[in-house]
Homo-oligomer: A and B are copies of this chain.
């Protein structure tokens, strides 16, 4: 059983003056071929500001930092504190310029390492019977 896997960032989130883009490192640029055919992508990034042993040990939070929400395991939230600090956001592609993917918005900070980009393919049919807890 693997006890550790190594992730090498493939790019970085850049936020400046309201414009948001993902800068893909040169070594990975070929992996962008065909992205222009999609309107949306899933971006996986690293919550680098939380990369401390203590924050990675945080297993329960009050969702949305609201103490009136019930104490909840981080797997049942999108909290930026979690054992593996992976953020996942669906973004709209606004344009592609060489190694940059311009996007509408992302809940990452300037400088957040990007660890994967995946094309977004919506469900062919709406999902049946989705259940959510009250705090959502």
Contact = CB atoms under 8 A, between A and B. Distances in A.
Interface of A: 1-10, 12, 24, 28, 30-35, 37-42, 44, 46, 48, 51, 59-60, 70-78, 82-86, 88, 111, 113, 115-122, 126-127, 129-134, 136
A72 B103 CA distance: 20
Contacts of A115: 5, 84, 86
Contact of A119 (B71, B75, B129, B134): B75
B119 A42 contact: no
B7 A39 contact: no
Contacts of A127: 40, 122
A76 B28 contact: no
Given A8-B83, A84-B115, A118-B88, A75 B35 contact: yes
A33 to B, nearest CB: 4
11 contacts: A1-B113, A2-B46, A3-B9, A4-B7, A4-B9, A5-B7, A33-B60, A34-B76, A35-B73, A37-B131, A83-B116
